[in-house]
C-alpha cells in the first residue's frame, strides 16, 4: 500500500490546486472502489488504482500535470457515459479532466466510477 507521505512527495512538484484536487479525488476513489490498491508509477508520472498487478486489473489512474489533473479510466472507451464526461480518442482508455471540488463530488463522476467497477467485475 502506498503511504500518504509517498503520495504527498509524488504530488509535491505540482501546483497546490492540482495537489489538493488529487488528494480529494484519492479519497473519493478509496470510498467508491472497495479494497482498491494504489501504486505510484514514477516513470509514467501517475498513480494507478487496481485490484492486482496485471493491466487488466487496473481501474483508473490519476494523472497530474502542470496544466491540471486527469482521471483516466482503463477500458474507458467501453464505459457508459451518458453525462459525456469522458474525453480522448484512445482505443481503450478515456479520461475526465478534473476542474475542482464540485466535479470531484459530482454524482456524474460517482456514476462513472461505479460503471468502471462494474465493468471490472464483469470481466472476472
Record the cell numbers describing residue 21, joined without a space: 484536487
Question: Bridge-partner residues for 38, per DSSP?
Answer: 49
What pTM was estimated for this model as a whole?
A: 0.94
CATH number at residue 10: 3.90.1150
Average pLDDT, the chain: 95
**Rounded Cα gap, residues 10 and 93, in angstroms:** 23
pLDDT over 90 at 94, yes or no: yes
With H, G, I as helix, E, B as strand and everything else as coil, classify residue 69: strand
Q: What is the pLDDT of residue 1?
A: 64
Q: How confident is the model at residue 53 (pLDDT cuts 50, 70, 90)?
A: confident
Q: What is the pLDDT of residue 56?
A: 83
Do the beta carbons of residue 108 and residue 85 sit within 8 Å? Answer: yes
**For the chain, what is the domain count?**
1
pLDDT over 80 at 35, yes or no: yes
Do the beta carbons of residue 79 and residue 116 sit within 8 Å? Answer: yes
**Rounded Cα gap, residues 39 and 62, in angstroms:** 10
Residue 83's domain spans which residues?
4-123
Nearest to 67 by CA among 99, 24, 101: 99
Angstrom distances, CA of residue 17 to CA of 54, 69, 70, 113: 31, 9, 13, 22
- Proportion of the chain above pLDDT 90, given as a percent: 90
123 HSE (CA, 13 A, CB side): 16
Amino acid at each position: 500500500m502506498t503511504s500518504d507521505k509517498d503520495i504527498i512527495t509524488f504530488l509535491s512538484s505540482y501546483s497546490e490546486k492540482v495537489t489538493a484536487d488529487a488528494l480529494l479525488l484519492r479519497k473519493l476513489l478509496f470510498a467508491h472502489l472497495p479494497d482498491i490498491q494504489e501504486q505510484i508509477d514514477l516513470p509514467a508520472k501517475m498513480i494507478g488504482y487496481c485490484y492486482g498487478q496485471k493491466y487488466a486489473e487496473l481501474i483508473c489512474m490519476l494523472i497530474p500535470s502542470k496544466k491540471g489533473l486527469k482521471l483516466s479510466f482503463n477500458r474507458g472507451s467501453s464505459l457508459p457515459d451518458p453525462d459525456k464526461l469522458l474525453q480522448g480518442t484512445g482505443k481503450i482508455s478515456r479520461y475526465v479532466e478534473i476542474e475542482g471540488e464540485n466535479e470531484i463530488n459530482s454524482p456524474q463522476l460517482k456514476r462513472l466510477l461505479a460503471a468502471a467497477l462494474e465493468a471490472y467485475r464483469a470481466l472476472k
